Amino acid sequence: MKPVTLYSKPQCQGCRLTAMRLDRNGTTYNKVDITTDDEAYARVKALGYSQMPVVEASSENHWSGYSPDRIDALKTHVDVAKEIKRGPEQDRTGVEDKG
């Protein structure tokens, strides 16, 4: 799963709240300041947004504004991905738990 991108700008309350919630949920993300990164600014415009923050989880999953429900949904996807990556649970003897 690719890291989430948080497009933000200084003095943006929604950006600060979004970053805090991503941190609390343990979601890996890259924070990009659109006021200093021309490519990031162009990306936000290409996605059709003019208000910060913009969160891009994938090419199909992105939004603008502080959205706790959508941020929390990212945590669910991250948790599921970790379970899939970790594989079957093993008991203390090293034998896979089939049940």
What confidence tens digit (pLDDT) does each residue in 59-83 have? 899 999 999 999 999 987 644 444 4
pLDDT reported for residue 88: 53
DSSP conformation class of 96: B
Q: Rounded to the nearest 10 degrees, what angle do helices 13-25 and 68-86 cross at?
A: 30
User: From the centroid of its chain, how far is CA 61?
Assistant: 10
pLDDT reported for residue 3: 84
Radius of gyration of the chain (CA): 17
Q: CA torsion, points 84, 89, 94, 95, in degrees to nearest 10?
A: -100
pLDDT digit string, tens, across residues 39-48: 999 999 999 9
pLDDT reported for residue 81: 44
- Quote the pTM value: 0.76
Mean pLDDT value of segment 29-44 = 97
Instruction: Give yes or no for residue 53 having a pLDDT over 80.
Output: yes
pLDDT reported for residue 82: 47
Q: What does the block give as tokens for 78?
A: 């991250």
Reported as half-sphere exposure (CB side, CA atoms, 13 A), residue 30 has a value of 9
